[in-house]
Amino acid sequence: MSPEEFRRLGHLVVDWLADYRANAGSKAVACNASPGDLLAQLPKAPPEQPEGFEAILSDLDDLIVPNLAHWQHPNFFAYFPSNGDLSAVLGDFLSTGLGVLGLTWQSAPALTELEDRVTDWLRQMSGLADSWQGVIQDTASSCAMIALVAARERTTKHGAVTTGMQHGQAPLVVYASTEAHSSIQKAAMLAGFGCDHVRKITVDANRAFDVAALREAITTDLNSGLRPCAIVATTGTTTTTAFDPINELANVAEQHGLWLHVDSAMAGTAMILPECQPLWHGIDRADSLVVNPHKWLGVSFDCSVFYVRDDQHLVRVMRTDPSYLRTTIDDQVKTYRDWGVALGRRFRAMKLWSLIRTHGTERLRTRIRRDLDNARWLTEQVEADPEWRLLAPMQLQTLCIRHEPVGVTGDALDKYTLDWLQRVHDTGRAWLTPAQLDGRWMVRVSIGSLTTEREHVAALWQLLQEVTAT
């Protein structure tokens, strides 16, 4: 496509997206598509002759939009906010349009140096010590795996990198709470620990890591001849936003020489508020940390910032040095390919830079505080209604709720919960996702989409009462 065609069509794309975003709230937040609906409408074979990009544009409204849930919708309360602020969207456009690739520093110097600086901006915004070094990865899942690989090599003194995991030696053990994200177990599986060696430690009444139980588990494993290796803590668990006690976990990690990785993928954004920073007290004692600006903060997916304190250790573990990637200034620069899995890297710093500069830190903090206020308001409504229950302490912006009419319990309650949730979705007026807590279904209300104001939260509360009215 020529630059002039791109200019013409690019304006159409921008206009289409501006309209899509402006009108997001006017359509149903989720869709009623059934499996195979779109597939049935797509040609089985690729076109031999050019259709032109106009063909894509004309299919957007007919084929694509009806088969999407709308994550940028003000009534999106599912999963977690995956905000793509339009300033970050434009930053990403620049990255894609420039089409440069970070294989080495030399291959795109600005890509590396801007990433170095903006991850440091986010560090400062989050009140983290200057001993942390940042890098942008795709997702927290990858970050967890990288953290466990780094942990593995610290425990084995770079033995696993050489001779493989556990050959002739006792298995390494990873400790996380029962509320840790599924990606932790996956990371341990990928990195060769084996799921049998992921201890799921019980949680306390607030669903946070039970440190006494952790100490017991470590002692048991040591007595069995196993090798404790890493603790994965979560500040803001997926289901209930519980905060594990980082400082106490750091004491345990220090005592036993374990790697401490902190998963703050979603809630890390709240740490740009000084009043929230006590929630991860002790964070500067951890070894690695992940915060996802592609969630609540507003940077278009994917932008997962991985912080590490001993970057030299990480690079020693991850480094490859083939001749076709060598440059004369390798010892003077950061070589981010050695900080993660992928060799090729997008210019992802551009979108984080765009967001922070467009808005400034104060306006970003104001938006996050708005969401906290809205969540507190909804919590008050739920707590004031005797038929509704708040099932876990509301910490930031996610509520775990259930409607519990008198006499409805057990399996009947599960069915009742999923039924009214389906009625919510059938209206198209809100999208929420369910999760299990203590083996029973409940509903998560995750507040924090960019365009979600108090009126949308109030309308949700109204809707919840409608679908549960007898």
- Could you give the CA distance from residue 91 to residue 112 in angstroms, rounded to a whole number? 16
- Helix/strand/coil percentages in the chain, nearest 5: 50, 15, 40
CB of 212 to a second copy, least distance (A): 26
User: Interface with a second copy includes 222 (CB under 8 A)?
Assistant: no
Q: Any idea how long the chain is?
A: 470
Which listed residue (25, 107, 377, 408) binds a second copy by CB under 8 A? 107
CB of 263 to a second copy, least distance (A): 12
Which listed residue (157, 225, 312, 322) binds a second copy by CB under 8 A? 322
How many residues line the site for a second copy (CB under 8 A)? 158
The answer to whether 431 and 366 have CB atoms below 8 angstroms apart is no
CB of 161 to a second copy, least distance (A): 5
User: Interface with a second copy includes 239 (CB under 8 A)?
Assistant: yes
User: Interface with a second copy includes 11 (CB under 8 A)?
Assistant: yes
Residue 291, number of CB atoms within 10 A of its CB:
33
Q: Residue 388 in 3-state DSSP?
A: strand
- Non-local CB neighbours of 200 within 8 Å, separated by 6+ positions: 176, 177, 178, 180
CB of 430 to a second copy, least distance (A): 15
Which listed residue (213, 222, 333, 463) binds a second copy by CB under 8 A? 333
User: Interface with a second copy includes 230 (CB under 8 A)?
Assistant: no
Nearer to a second copy by Cβ, of 286 and 352: the residue is 352
CB of 129 to a second copy, least distance (A): 15
Q: Return the bridge partners of 388, or none.
A: 403
CB of 261 to a second copy, least distance (A): 16
CB of 269 to a second copy, least distance (A): 14
Query: Which positions from 69 to 98 touch a second copy by CB under 8 A, shown as an x/- string?
Result: xxxx-----xx--xxxxxx-xxxxxx-xxx
Region 26-45 residues binding a second copy, contact defined as CB under 8 A = 30-31, 33-39, 42, 44-45
DSSP states of 389-415: EE-S---SSEEEEEE--TT--HHHHHH
- Could you give the CA distance from residue 324 to residue 293 in angstroms, rounded to a whole number? 33
CA dihedral sign of residues 364, 136, 157, 160: positive
Residue 39, number of CB atoms within 10 A of its CB:
9
Query: Which positions from 143 to 182 touch a second copy by CB under 8 A, shown as an x/- string?
Result: --x---x--x-------xxxxxxxx---xx--------xx
Q: Where are the alpha helices (DSSP H) in 307-453?
A: 311-318, 349-384, 410-427
Region 403-462 residues binding a second copy, contact defined as CB under 8 A = 433-436, 441, 444
